[in-house]
Amino acid sequence: MPSNDTQTDAVELTPVHVDHLIADGELAAENAWCVSYDTETLPEQRPAFVPLALWQANQDDVELAPLLSSDTELTTELGQQLSGTNAIAVDFPAFTDGRGYTLARLLRERYGYTGEIRAVGDVLVDQLDYMRRCGFTAMALRDDQHPDDAIRALNMFSVRYQTDVEQRQALFERRLLASE
């Protein structure tokens, strides 16, 4: 398998809080969760998203939830294991790394995951609509992003051609139903 080294640059060991969390299409009033990228030690702050292996080793701790790196290979076994948590964070190490979109769709559509999926990391205003359509219910905006812009960007489109997590019929199918 080709290597994917983009992950390594973005590691931050201090738990991260973000100022602006978009949840269910609105600016969230509260944001208790922090994100810790430290793969060795559990953070003191709770609740916390921690790297997958650390979460797997501490599954009894209800104040922890898994943080998936963008190169996570979502096997059937892992997909089933993740269904036991009520929140999953997917990391965007760079906004140009599109693997997180596929991860979210697989969690929703293949593994039937119904809890929160939160986008963290390099999360920008103009990605949010795509993220929502792929199954993210919460997006932790990068610090420099404006929440007003984010809410506007989320509501720019009323039409979509493809199926997605929210819209289970492609437009061609909806057109046919409308013409019947």
Partner 1 sequence: MYRYDIHDQTLVDERVAQFRDQMDRYRAGRLGEEEFRPLRLQNGLYIQKHAPMLRIAIPYGMLAGKQLRALADITRRYDRGYGHFTTRQNLQLNWPALEDVPDILADLAKVQMHAIQTSGNCIRNTTSDQFAGIAGDEVEDPRPWCELIRQWSTLHPEFAYLPRKFKIAVSGAAQDRAAIQVHDIGLRLWHNADGEVRIKVLAGGGLGRTPMIGDVVREDLPWQHLLTYLEACVRVYNQFGRRDNKFKARIKILVKALGIEEFRRRVDEEWAHLKDGPQTLNQAAVDAAKIHFPEPARRPVTDSAIAEFERLRGENRSLARFVTNNVTDHKVSGYKAVTLSLKRREHAPGDVTADQMEAVADLADRYSFGEVRVTHEQNLVLSDVPVDELEALWKELDALGMANPTVGTLNDIICCPGGDYCGLANAVSIPIAQALQERFEDLDFLYDLGPLDLNISGCMNACGHHHVGHIGILGVDKKGEEYYQISIGGNSTDDASLGKILGPSFFREDVPDVVDKVLQVYVAERHEDERFLDTYRRIGLKPFKERVYAQQ
List interacting residues with partner 1 (CB under 8 A). 1-6, 73, 95-99, 101-102, 105, 109-110, 124-127, 129-131, 133-134, 144, 146, 149, 152-153, 156-164, 168-173, 175-176
CB of 46 to partner 1, least distance (A): 32
Please say which residue, 63 or 173, places its beta carbon nearer to partner 1: 173
Q: Whole-angstrom Cα distance, residue 117 to residue 24? A: 11
* Residue 43, preceding peptide bond in cis (omega within 30° of 0): no
Please say which residue, 65 or 97, places its beta carbon nearer to partner 1: 97
Is residue 127 within 8 Å of residue 147, measured between CB atoms?
no
Please say which residue, 63 or 110, places its beta carbon nearer to partner 1: 110
CB of 81 to partner 1, least distance (A): 18
| Dihedral angle of Cα 3, 73, 122, 82, to the nearest 10 degrees | -160
List the alpha helices (DSSP H) in 24-170: 52-57, 76-82, 99-105, 128-133, 147-154
Q: Whole-angstrom Cα distance, residue 111 to residue 114? A: 9
CB of 149 to partner 1, least distance (A): 6
Please say which residue, 57 or 174, places its beta carbon nearer to partner 1: 174
